[in-house]
Structure 1
Amino acid sequence: MFTGLSAFPLIPTDENGIDEQAFVGLVARLAAAGVASIGALGSTGGYAYLSREQRALTAREAVAAAGTTPVIVGIGALRTRQVLDHAADAHEAGAAAVLLAPMSYQPLTDDEVFGLYRTVTAETTIPLVVYDNPGTTHVTFSDELHGRIAALPNIGSIKIPGVAAAAAPARIAALRAVIPAHVTIGVSGDWLAAGGLLGGADAWYSVLGGLFPEAALAITRATQASDSTAAREASNRLEPLWALFQRYGSLRVMSAAAETLGLVHSPNLPLPLLGLDPAGRSELEATLLRLGLGA
């Protein structure tokens, strides 16, 4: 479950609620494509914008639509009590694992971050993925902090930020040196994923995979076969899409791409988030067509 491609789909949401039918369809597509796991209620799913009831419903629907594919459910929240509630809901829904980012408003100290994971792992019986996402949470994990957390019970994987290909082997080796052998390392930052996987990461926690699983699986399977040429070529081919991710944010790009494919309605992001502007949308549509991803 904590190796290979973990695909994170959009949760189409507007001010009237979640488009449940569209979400179920997105999850079912991923299961049919053969991804290793499905990440529900990650950043691409907009978990922070949803109520507890909406998140619990989404977790149940994801597990049902995924069939035999394991579902990892995001449980991040500002308060520990809320995190525990979300963890209980995920467990009840049948999630195979949970994903936890240390959300913050007040800056968190290392001891506060560690205390969060210690409390949650003490009350959670399913595996937990540590979500290291400083760009969103403004929490920076040191390797020492990762080591402390990874030694807790039920830690299954660490999702780290993307790292440049040249630096990936050393970065991943340094982290492995301070965590137990059973804890896997997964990369994010899709445009850097090929280098991270070739550099020794076990998993790719992927935004791209949530909508275009075949393209993400091509990169993943090439790295698993140690075919660095094929992996880099498959990733480099998507460079126009990676450029859009970095310019507009991957969530907005995937939102507009899902609309272009006719898989979701518009709007599908919770306010105050807005979709791509007309120029960005036109560029995206042309890019998808050029890459053969528009059908």
Structure 2
Amino acid sequence: MFHGLSAFPLTPTDEDGIDTTAYAALVARLATAGVDSVGALGSTGGYAYLTREERAHALKIAVDAADGTPVMAGIGALRTSHVLTLAEDAQKAGASAVLLAPMTYQPLTEDEVFGLYEDVTRELSVPLCVYDNPGTTRVQFSDELHGRIAQLPNVGSIKIPGVPDDPAQAKDRIDALRALIPDTVTIGVSGDWMAAHGLNAGCDVWYSVLGGTFPLTTLALTRAAQAGDAASATELSDSLEPLWALFRRHGSLRVMSAAASHLGLTGEPNLPRPLRGLDEAARQDVAEALDALGLAG
């Protein structure tokens, strides 16, 4: 489950709800491309802005459209009781795994973060991926905290927020974390422009925003790294720098929103308020980058 490429699609949403036709097509496109898993309702999928009913509806669509490709479902919420309810919904919908970020309004202590995962993993019948994403949650995981959580039942993977550019430092980062966790727990890299560094340094899986819209491109990079061809993986990543630059400037969610619209995969708007898409100048930058790179899948 937690190996290779996990692709995270948009959940096209406006104030009338989820565009079920576009969402099903996005997920089916990933399954057809051969991704290893689909990350439904991740940050790219806008989980934090959807109601329980919308999430359950989206998951049913995703599991059906994935047609046997494993689906990992985001279950993050502010209250533990709500997380448990969302976990139950995800399991009933047929999700193969769940993804949990510690959402917070009041800053959480390490013991509170650990307690969240302790409470949730106790109730699960599917594996859980720990979502370490300080850029959105403002929760900082220490390696020691990861080590504690990784010992809990049903923890199967840790999604970390990137690694250093230097190959030796990247390997040291992964090795240091791996020394604290069981062999049964994989390490996955996010922060797409750092994915090649992470995979080449020993990460087991790429949790990819770009993969949710461009599965063939991201699969090529992933398979090169899995085959031990670090040079090719790095070269493929370097070729995508025009997109990575836009990710760093505008945020990956808004860039993928514009990309999906440009390719006709979704309508407009496709983000839930208060989120708004890029302005016209930035949209043009995205379109020009996609056209220059020849990206369509």
| TM bucket normalised to smaller | over 0.9
Q: Secondary structure, in 3 states, of the residue corresponding to 1:45?
A: coil
Question: Normalised by the size of structure 1, how large is the TM-score?
Answer: 0.99
Q: Which residue of 2 aligns with 1:265?
A: 267
Q: Secondary structure, in 3 states, of the residue corresponding to 1:44?
A: coil
Q: Which residue of 2 aligns with 1:160?
A: 160
Deviations 1:185-225 (A, max 9, x none): 00000000000000010000000000000110111001011
Question: Are 1:74 and 1:99, in contact at CA under 8 Å, matched by a contact in 2?
Answer: yes
Q: Which residue of 2 aligns with 1:287?
A: 289
Structure 1 runs (4+) deviating above 3 angstroms are none
Question: Are 1:191 and 1:235, in contact at CA under 8 Å, matched by a contact in 2?
Answer: yes
Q: Secondary structure, in 3 states, of the residue corresponding to 2:269?
A: coil
* CA shift for structure 1 position 294: 4.6
Question: Normalised by the size of structure 2, how large is the TM-score?
Answer: 0.98
Q: Which amino acid aligns with 1:236?
A: D
Do structure 1's residue 196 and structure 2's residue 202 form an aligned pair?
Answer: no
Q: Which amino acid aligns with 1:203?
A: V
Question: Are 2:35 and 2:215, in contact at CA under 8 Å, matched by a contact in 1?
Answer: yes
Q: Which residue of 2 aligns with 1:94?
A: 94
Q: Which residue of 2 aligns with 1:172?
A: 174
Q: Which residue of 2 aligns with 1:147?
A: 147
Q: Which residue of 1 aligns with 2:115?
A: 115
2 CA distance for matches of 1:144 and 1:286?
A: 44
1 CA distance for matches of 2:231 and 2:162?
A: 20
2 CA distance for matches of 1:196 and 1:177?
A: 16
Q: Secondary structure, in 3 states, of the residue corresponding to 1:43?
A: coil
1 CA distance for matches of 2:64 and 2:231?
A: 38
2 CA distance for matches of 1:51 and 1:75?
A: 11
Question: Are 1:41 and 1:47, in contact at CA under 8 Å, matched by a contact in 2?
Answer: yes
Q: Secondary structure, in 3 states, of the residue corresponding to 2:271?
A: coil
Q: Which residue of 2 aligns with 1:249?
A: 251
2 CA distance for matches of 1:261 and 1:88?
A: 35
Q: Which amino acid aligns with 1:127?
A: P
2 CA distance for matches of 1:219 and 1:155?
A: 27
Q: Secondary structure, in 3 states, of the residue corresponding to 1:251?
A: helix
Structure 2: 5+ residue stretches without partners: none
Root mean square deviation of aligned Cα: 0.7
Q: Percent identity at matched positions?
A: 68
Q: Which amino acid aligns with 1:20?
A: T
Q: Which amino acid aligns with 1:24?
A: A
Question: Are 2:214 and 2:296, in contact at CA under 8 Å, matched by a contact in 1?
Answer: no
2 CA distance for matches of 1:116 and 1:253?
A: 32
2 CA distance for matches of 1:92 and 1:232?
A: 40
* CA shift for structure 1 position 228: 1.2
* CA shift for structure 1 position 134: 0.6
Q: Secondary structure, in 3 states, of the residue corresponding to 2:122?
A: helix
2 CA distance for matches of 1:196 and 1:168?
A: 7
* CA shift for structure 1 position 165: 3.0
Deviations 1:32-64 (A, max 9, x none): 000000000000000000000000111111011
Q: Secondary structure, in 3 states, of the residue corresponding to 1:226?
A: coil
Q: Which residue of 1 aligns with 2:18?
A: 18
2 CA distance for matches of 1:124 and 1:4?
A: 23
Q: Secondary structure, in 3 states, of the residue corresponding to 2:98?
A: strand
2 CA distance for matches of 1:232 and 1:97?
A: 29
2 CA distance for matches of 1:202 and 1:157?
A: 9
